[in-house]
């Protein structure tokens, strides 16, 4: 059985070029089942490209992406995707938006609706099932998008800067909620963010990408106990790790004190 001993997810010398632009070059890393991995990197370095390849929405130029030992050659159902914008359909209620996937997949309606209501309740949206997107705040919309991604109970959850457009307080709360849901469900999460704090707060491991073509410039394990509380962010271990990651970006020339 190919998946028995293989890493759960494996990027194996993954390279992706678009005409003359190489977005990602010879990238190799692995994820364990149930791991929460964060990726931080400068804008345009190829993070979204990598997620698209994991989802089977784009193919490598060279190298492979494998899930349970099998190359990813097309989109598959065992993965949920949350984008930066919630991308909800404005003419459908919160519940109907969450149910969209199940309708496309023709899953049994009653069970899907029970699960959708349960998920909405778990993210604090009980009572908002029949609200339309324009009646919900940005944070609430993103929670609906999270429920939509989790409805079919995929093993892999891919999140591309999901909280980037939220205000700071909403972002704090949704990070806490995501951590709780992850601890309950243990999905394998690949989470892209521009925020070093967010990466350290949420992840078991942080990969730091170089400017394009993306390479792994550094890798950090986050030794903080879970559940992590917001107060952990002022603790020594947290601030030291954030400082170390910021140092990597300074060394890469991505962050500078002085103008060029």
Ligand X SMILES: Nc1ncnc2c1ncn2[C@@H]1O[C@H](COP(=O)(O)OP(=O)(O)OP(=O)(O)O)[C@@H](O)[C@H]1O
Q: Which residue has the tokens 């070093």?
A: 196
> DSSP state, 5?
T
Sequence-distant (6+) residues with CB within 8 A of 255 are: 246, 249
Least Å distance, CB 44 to ligand X, is 4
Interface size with ligand X, residues (CB under 6 A): 12
Q: Is 21 in the site for ligand X (CB under 6 A)?
A: yes
Pick 147 or 166: Cβ nearer ligand X: 166
Q: Is 23 in the site for ligand X (CB under 6 A)?
A: yes
Member of 11, 14, 31, 49 binding ligand X (CB under 6 A) = 49
CA–CA distance, 243 with 83 (Å, rounded to integer): 27
Q: Burial letters for 81-95: b for 16+ Cβ neighbours within 10 Å, e otherwise?
A: bbbbebebeeeebbb
Q: Is 255 in the site for ligand X (CB under 6 A)?
A: no
CA–CA distance, 50 with 143 (Å, rounded to integer): 24
Q: Is 46 in the site for ligand X (CB under 6 A)?
A: yes
Q: Mask: binding to ligand X, 144-173, rule CB under 6 A, as x and -? A: ------------------------------
CA–CA distance, 241 with 57 (Å, rounded to integer): 33
Q: Is 20 in the site for ligand X (CB under 6 A)?
A: no
Point out which residues pair with 216 in neighbouring strands. Answer: 209
The answer, yes or no, to whether the previous bond of 28 is cis (omega within 30 of 0) is: no
Region from 29-37, 41-49, 199-207, 223-231 binding ligand X, contact rule CB under 6 A: 41-49
Member of 37, 45, 136, 200 binding ligand X (CB under 6 A) = 45
Q: Is 65 in the site for ligand X (CB under 6 A)?
A: no
Region from 44-52, 129-137, 200-208, 242-250 binding ligand X, contact rule CB under 6 A: 44-52
For the four alpha carbons of 41, 46, 50 and 52, in that order, the dihedral sign comes to: positive
Residues binding ligand X (CB under 6 A): 18, 21, 23, 41, 43-49, 212
């Amino acid at each position: 059985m190919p998946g028995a001993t293989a890493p759960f997810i494996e990027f194996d010398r993954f390279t992706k070029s678009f005409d003359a632009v190489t977005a990602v070059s010879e990238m190799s890393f692995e994820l364990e089942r149930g791991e929460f991995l964060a990726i931080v990197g400068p804008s345009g370095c190829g993070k979204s490209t990598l997620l698209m390849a994991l989802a089977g929405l784009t193919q490598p130029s060279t190298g492979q992406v494998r899930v349970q030992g099998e190359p990813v050659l097309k989109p598959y159902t065992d993965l949920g995707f949350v984008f930066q914008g919630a991308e909800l359909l404005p003419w459908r209620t919160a519940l109907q938006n969450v149910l969209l996937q199940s309708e496309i997949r023709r899953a049994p309606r009653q069970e899907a609706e029970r699960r959708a209501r349960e998920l909405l309740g778990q993210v604090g949206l009980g009572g908002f099932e029949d609200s339309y997107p324009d009646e919900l705040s940005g944070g609430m919309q993103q929670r609906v998008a999270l429920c939509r991604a989790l409805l079919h109970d995929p093993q892999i959850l891919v999140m591309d800067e999901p909280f980037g457009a939220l205000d700071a307080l909403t972002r704090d709360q949704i990070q806490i909620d995501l951590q709780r849901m992850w601890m309950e469900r243990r999905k394998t999460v690949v989470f892209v963010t521009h925020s070093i704090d967010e990466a350290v707060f949420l992840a078991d491991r942080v990969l730091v990408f170089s400017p394009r073509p993306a390479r792994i410039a550094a890798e950090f394990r986050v030794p903080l106990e879970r559940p992590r509380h917001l107060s952990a962010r002022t603790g020594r271990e947290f601030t030291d790790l954030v400082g170390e990651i910021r140092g990597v970006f300074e060394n890469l020339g991505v962050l500078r004190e002085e103008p060029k």
